[in-house]
Amino acid sequence: MTRSRVPGLLAVPAALAVGFLAIPLVGLLGRTPWGSIGAELASPRVLEALRLSLICSFGAVAVSVGLGVPLAVLLARVEFPGRNLVRALTTLPMVLPPVVGGVALLLAFGRRGLVGQWLDRAFGITLPFTTAGAILAEAFVAMPFLVITVEAGLRAMDRRFEDAAATLGAGRWTTLRRVTLPLIAPSLGAGIALCWARALGEFGATITFAGNLPGVTQTMPLAVYIALETDLEAAIALSLVLLAISLAVLVALRDRWFPTA
């Protein structure tokens, strides 16, 4: 241990910060009905919410990868007018209150919305109150995490590999597929994990845009919220599942966030 040049007094607010962040978790664990948690977790409402949460969060990741990775590549590699504006727009959902996102989604993709009324007229598709709507709400909030992470990975990457591939005759698609994407695989993985975790925890945009119906749009966080009002034990059990998943994501990403080297 090298001698630290950090003022010792910093330990006070730091310890308070740790307490502040950790005590709620202790509170949750302390109130957990460990005896009946197995039964709680096996109850149909919990299983249904869990199943739906998995479908929606992976759906949101699929949408985010399909649209977000190309966007990240363009943002990182191509100079185009308004690029900073596009980047700002892309990250907006990260700082926007999710409920506001939900209202905005309603006004855009709702049955009377800007795009939604056209979807309804032309294809008879309405998104609110559907599982697809829940996926959309989650993707809206979660995609920026993927875009930002992948773009950062692309910028940090050594571009000479791409140049070398090009001089050896590789086309643009081949270079992207065989050189660029494999090289940024760790960033892509981290981006997907972050995006997925955010989608899994999404509440505000989902309940506002997609509504709340068990088995259709009532994901885990919504189930926790509703259960909290009538059945505290079920709410705690659901919360524990989400906590465990979050911890798993942290552990999976520990090398990235807590480099030991």
Burial class (CB in 10 A: 0-12, 13-18, 19+), 95: exposed
Single out the residue of 135, 220, 226, 245 in contact with other proteins (rule: CB under 8 A).
226
Which residue in 155, 166, 225, 242 binds other proteins (CB under 8 A)? 225
- Does residue 110 belong to the site contacting other proteins (CB under 8 A)? yes
Only segment of 13-21, 76-84, 173-181, 193-201 that touches other proteins (CB under 8 A): 13-21
Which helix (H) or strand (E) segment holds residue 72: the answer is helix 44-77
Nearer to other proteins, 1 or 95 (CB): 1
Q: Please report how close the Cβ of residue 124 comes to other proteins at its closest, in angstroms.
A: 12
Can you state the angle between helices 185-201 and 131-156, rounded to 10 degrees?
A: 150
Q: Please give the single-letter amino acid code of residue 251.
A: V
Cα distances from 91 to residues 143, 146, 147, 149, 150, in angstroms, run 9, 10, 8, 11, 13
Residue with Cβ nearer other proteins (15 or 185): 15
At closest approach, how far in Å is the CB of 24 from other proteins? 14
Rounded Cα distance between 225 and 261, Å, is 41
Cβ-based neighbours of 176, under 8 Å, separated by 6 or more = 73
- Minimum CB separation of residue 17 from other proteins in Å reads 10
Contact call for residue 12 and other proteins (CB under 8 A): yes
* 196 or 203: CB nearest other proteins: 203
Residue 129 found at the interface with other proteins (CB under 8 A): yes
**124 touching other proteins, by CB under 8 A:** no
Torsion sign, CA atoms 219, 221, 227, 229: negative
- Does residue 210 contact residue 130 with C-beta atoms inside 8 Å? yes
- For residue 228, the minimal CB distance to other proteins (Å) is 6
Minimum gap (Å) between residue 76 Cβ and other proteins: 38
Binding flag, residue 189, other proteins (CB under 8 A) = no
Q: Is 59 in the site for other proteins (CB under 8 A)?
A: no
Q: Number of C-alpha atoms within 13 angstroms, CB side, residue 93?
A: 26
Touching other proteins, residues 227-246 (CB under 8 A) = 228-230, 232
Query: What are the distances in angstroms from CA 184 to CA 65, 177, 259?
Result: 14, 11, 17
Give me the residues that bind other proteins (CB under 8 A), please. 1, 3-4, 8-12, 15-16, 19, 106, 110-112, 126, 128-129, 207, 210-214, 216-218, 225-226, 228-230, 232
